[in-house]
C-alpha cells in the first residue's frame, strides 16, 4: 500500500477586495512544492472559509487580504476555527497589513504575517517547518 500524508492548504480571500494575483501566485507555489491547494475564490466570509477548511480537512489556511478589514475578519475566523475544533490548523496571512497590527494578529493565533515582496520559497519553507503533521 502506498500510504502517504499530503499537506492540504486552503488559500482564501476574506472580505471585499477583488485582487487575487498574489493569492494565486502563492497557491501556485504551494502546488509546485507538492501540496494540494484548495482555492476558494474571491469575497469569502469567515464562515465560508472555516467551513471549507473543515470539509477539506486542511492542515494550513493561508489568508490574503488587501482591503484593511483584517482586524475585523481575522478574529472572527480564529473564533470560528476554535468553535469547530480546528485549532490544530496552521493559519498565516499575507497582503497589505500595517506593522503595528501584527502583534495583535499573532496574539489571536495567526502564526505569521507576510508583507509584499515576500519570496514564495520563504512561504513554502515556513509551511513545511510549522505545519502540524497528521498522526
Partner 1 sequence: MTHIEQLIDGVLKGDRRSIAKTITLIEDDMPESEKAISLLYPHTGKAFIVGMTGPPGSGKSTLIQKLVEELRRRGKTVGVVAVDPSSPFTGGAFLGDRVRMQELSIDEGVFIRSMATRGSLGALAKATKDAVKVLDASGKDVVVVETVGAGQSEVEIIKLAHTVVVVLAPGLGDDIQAIKAGIMEIGDIFVVNKADRENVNKAMIDIETMLNMNPEREKWRPPVVKTTAITGEGIAELLDKIDQHREYLEAGAIDTRRRQRVETELVEAIKEKVAESIVDELKQTGDLDKLVQRILAKETDPYSAADMLLDKRLKRFKRR
The contact set with partner 1 (CB under 8 A) reads 1-6, 8, 27-28, 30-41, 44-45, 47-48, 51-52, 54-57, 84-85, 134
Shortest Å distance, C-beta 98 to partner 1: 29
Give 89 or 105: the residue with its C-beta nearer to partner 1: 89
C-beta of 4 vs 129, nearer to partner 1: 4
Is 85 exposed, middle or buried (CB count within 10 Å of its CB: 0-12, 13-18, 19+)? exposed
Residue matched to cell numbers 473543515: 54
Handedness of CA 92, 98, 103, 107 (dihedral sign): negative
> Coil, strand or helix: which one is 130?
helix
For partner 1, which is the closer residue by CB, 1 or 18?
1
| Cβ proximity to partner 1, 50 vs 113, nearer residue | 50
In whole angstroms, how close is the CB of 14 to partner 1 at the nearest point? 12
CB of 134 to partner 1, least distance (A): 7
Q: How far is the CB of 99 from partner 1 (least distance, A)?
A: 31
Is the torsion defined by CA of 67, 123, 4, 88 positive or negative? negative
Tell me how far, at minimum, the Cβ of 25 lies from partner 1, in Å.
12
Of 37 and 105, which CB lies nearer to partner 1 in the complex structure?
Answer: 37
Residue 74 CB-half CA count within 13 A: 29
| Gap between the Cα atoms of 81 and 90, Å rounded | 11
Amino acid at each position: 500500500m502506498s500510504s502517504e500524508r499530503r499537506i492540504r492548504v486552503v488559500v482564501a480571500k476574506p472580505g471585499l477586495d477583488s485582487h487575487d494575483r498574489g493569492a494565486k501566485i502563492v497557491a501556485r507555489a504551494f502546488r509546485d512544492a507538492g501540496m494540494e491547494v484548495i482555492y476558494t475564490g474571491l469575497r469569502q466570509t469567515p464562515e465560508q472559509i472555516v467551513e471549507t477548511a473543515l470539509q477539506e480537512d486542511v492542515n494550513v489556511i493561508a489568508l490574503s487580504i488587501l482591503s484593511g478589514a483584517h482586524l475585523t475578519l481575522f478574529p472572527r475566523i480564529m473564533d470560528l476555527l476554535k468553535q469547530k475544533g480546528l485549532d490544530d490548523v496552521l493559519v498565516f496571512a499575507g497582503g497589505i497589513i500595517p506593522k503595528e497590527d501584527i502583534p495583535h494578529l499573532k496574539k489571536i493565533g495567526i502564526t505569521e504575517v507576510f508583507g509584499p515582496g515576500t519570496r514564495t520559497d520563504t512561504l513554502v519553507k515556513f509551511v513545511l517547518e510549522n505545519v502540524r503533521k497528521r498522526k
